[in-house]
Amino acid sequence: MARLAGFLLALMAGLALVSGPARADPSVFDDARLEVTPLLNGPAPYPRELVLLRIRGVYRPLINQSKLIQPELVDFAWSELGQDAVRVIEEDGYAKREFTRVIAVYPSRSGTLTIGPFVHRLKVVDGAERREIEVRSKPVELKVAAWSGPGGPDDPQGWWLPARSVTVRDAWSGDPDRVPRGETLTRTVTVTADGAPADMLPPTPKLLSPGVISFLGPTSRETRITPSGPVSQVTYSWEARPTTAYPATVQEIRIPWFDTTARKMREAVIPARRMAWAADGSGEPAPAKRAAAPMLAAAGALALSFAFGVALLLWRAGGAPRLLPEREPQALRALRRAARRSDAAGVRAAVSALSRHDPARARRWREDPEARAALSALDRRLFGPADEPAPDLNGLARAIGRAWRASRPDAAPPSGLPPLDGRSAKR
C-alpha cells in the first residue's frame, strides 16, 4: 500500500514537471502597439531635406474614440500629409484595427536628432463599459548628415533648395524679339518643386540686363499636399521693355537645387531672351531695302509736295482739313493690339502715348464719360487693391477710339473777307 501511494505521488510530480505552470492568455487590451518609422531613401538626409515619418498602430480591442498626441518636434519643421488611414487587418488569427498617419518633417540641423514618443489615447469597449488605455511608441533617432563642399544649407551666399525635381516655365505676353514701339511686355516665370514647401522656394530674382528696363510685378506662392509630400510653386512676374534702339539680351538666371533622389546638385535655368523694338513699331519686321529705294524716295517726295500744294489751295478756299483723310496715330493702333492680348500694362502705356501725341485733343476725349469711366477702371486694376476686377480692355480701346475720332479738330474758320463772287455785306 505504501508503495502504491509513493508511485502515485511520483506520477503526479512528473506530470507537473512535464506540463509546467499554466499560462493565461494575454489580455485583449494588452494586444496593442504603436511604432514610428522614418522612410529614408538610403543615405542620411541633409538639413531641411524632406523626411516622411510613418506612425502606425495595430490594435486588437474594439476602439470607440482615439487621439494621437504628437511630441514636441524641437529640431524639426513639420506638416501633415492628408488624412489618417484606418482599416481592418488579420494578424495572429485575430481581426485588428490598423491606424496609419504620415507626416513630413524637415530637420533643422545636422547630427543625431531624437524624435520623442507618440502617444495614442484610446477609448475601448470592455463589455458594457468603456476603458481608456494609452499606447506609446519608442523614441526614434534620426541621423542628419553634415554638408561638405561648396554651397549647402549653411551657405549665406546661396539658396538651399532640396527637392525631388524642379521645373521652370517661362512665358511672355508678346514676342520679346519684336516689341511694338512704346509697349511693355509682361514676363511670367513659374518654378515648381516636388518635395519642398513654398517657403523654401527662392525670392524673386532680379533681371539685370543692359538695354532693358524691368519692374517687379506680383509674386504668388502655393503648396499642394500629396501622399508623397508637398508640391509647391512660385510665380514671378516682371514688366519689361527695351531702352535703346539696339537689341539687348535679358540674361539667364540660374537657381541651384539639390536633387534628393540622385544626391547631387543641379541648376534650374530661367533662359536668356533677346529683346528689341519692332522695326516699324507695328510688331512686324520692316520690309527689306530694295534697289529702287532712291526712286521710291523721289516719287514719295514728289507726291508729298503735290499733296501739300493741294492742301494749301484747299485751305485758302476755307475747308481743306475735312477733305483730307486723317491717319490714326501709332499709339491708337498699339492700344488695340494690347487690348487683344489682354495686356493691361500695355493698354495703359498706349493711352499715355496717345495723350502725348496730341495733348489738346486728349483733353477733349478725356471728357467723354465712357472713356473716362473705362480708364478709371483700368487704373484701379493696375494701381489699386489686388482684388480689383479686371476691366474690359477691348471695350476701353473702342471707347477711346470713338472718343478720339469724335474729338477731331474742326475745319479752319472761314475767312473774314467777303467772297469774291458773292454779295458784299451792307455797311
Q: What is the pLDDT of residues 139-182, one digit of tens each?
A: 999 999 999 888 889 888 888 999 999 999 999 999 999 999 88
Q: Going by C-beta distance under 8 Å and a sequence separation of 6 or more, which residues neighbour residue 338?
A: 183, 346, 347, 349, 350, 393, 397
- Distance from C-alpha of 392 to C-alpha of 373, rounded to nearest angstrom: 11
Inform me whether the pLDDT recorded for 278 exceeds 60: yes
Please indicate, yes or no, whether residues 120 and 211 belong to a single structural domain of this protein. Answer: no
Q: Torsions phi, psi of 289, nearest 5? A: -70, 145
The β-bridge relationship of strands 253-259 and 229-242 is unpaired
- Domain total of the chain: 3
pLDDT computed for residue 285 by the predictor: 43
- Distance from C-alpha of 34 to C-alpha of 81, rounded to nearest angstrom: 19
**Residue located via cell numbers 499554466:** 22
In a domain, 319, yes or no: no
pTM above 0.75, yes or no: no
pLDDT-derived band of residue 309, with 50, 70 and 90 as boundaries?
low
Residue 51: CATH number of its domain: 2.60.40
Alpha carbon of 318 to those of 132, 307, 378: distances in Å? 105, 16, 41
pLDDT-derived band of residue 299, with 50, 70 and 90 as boundaries?
low
Are the C-beta atoms of 242 and 212 separated by less than 8 Å?
A: yes
In a domain, 19, yes or no: no
What's the mean pLDDT in 29-39?
A: 90
In a domain, 82, yes or no: yes
In a domain, 290, yes or no: no
- Check residues 400 and 51 and name the one with the higher pLDDT: 51
Three-state SS string over 233-249 comes to EEEEEEEEEECCCCCEE
pLDDT-derived band of residue 325, with 50, 70 and 90 as boundaries?
low
pLDDT computed for residue 351 by the predictor: 83
Largest CA distance in the chain: 177
Lowest mean pLDDT among 179-193, 234-248, 364-378: 364-378
- Distance from C-alpha of 352 to C-alpha of 379, rounded to nearest angstrom: 12
In a domain, 284, yes or no: no
In a domain, 298, yes or no: no
- Distance from C-alpha of 99 to C-alpha of 61, rounded to nearest angstrom: 13
In a domain, 265, yes or no: yes
In a domain, 285, yes or no: no
Among the candidates 235, 257, 275, a domain finishes at 275
The β-bridge relationship of strands 248-250 and 212-216 is unpaired
Residue % of the chain over a pLDDT of 90: 44
For the chain, the average pLDDT equals 80
pLDDT computed for residue 17 by the predictor: 41
